[in-house]
Amino acid sequence: MHMDAQRGYSEAMQLLEKHFGDEMKIAYAYLDKALNWTAIKADDGKALQAYSLYLRECHNAMQDLEYMDDLDVTSTLKLIVSKLPYKLRERWRSRAYEEFHKRNIRAKFRHIVEFLENQSNILLHPAFGDIKDPTPVQRISPKNRSTEIRTLKSRSTFVTAVAAPGEQDTKHYTFKGQQHTNLNAATSAVCCFCKGKHALLDCFKFKS
């Protein structure tokens, strides 16, 4: 039993439309995700690697679905490059000019994928990938050091005044660790002539 020719043709066309319609949805789903990718920060090797891996997956899928022409559109390539940090955009611009423009070759999607794979490998190099400056050790300048020393000295310096028992005019001062005694000559001086508690010049016996 054979199917009517007209009916068979119609069903075949429907199957083809459904098949290629699904492929188109898959292709544009890949492309939509690539174009809406989160912008990559500078020197973020892991994020760049993740993007390059997805673009490689996207490239392979589009190749199988025969939709590579949609990826090679210049506007699509520019949107993909816009996800890169400035340093990589600048590097891609130089490469696009030197390798493609000068040789009159059109840059394609696969060229960007290869470029990103190479750049992510550079950033993730096990020995020399991380070129960030080390965290500087905070050092005290000679000026600040002398200021700290003066501050410590001023804290340790103090002045006390203590009245000695029975001698109200005798005061003891402590200043910078050294003791100075101020004695009232009228009460503490001993006359060398009469042994009285007065200065020699005030001694009546000596004057007489």
* pLDDT tens-digit readout, 178-192: 444 444 444 566 777
Domain spans of the chain, in order of start: 13-123, 161-207
* pLDDT tens-digit readout, 68-96: 888 889 999 999 999 999 999 999 999 99
C-alpha span between 122 and 39 (Å, rounded): 19
What lies within 8 Å, CB to CB, of 50 at 6+ separation is none
CB atoms within 10 A of CB 160: 9
47 or 207, which is more confident: 47
* pTM of the full structure: 0.54
Average pLDDT over residues 59-64: 86
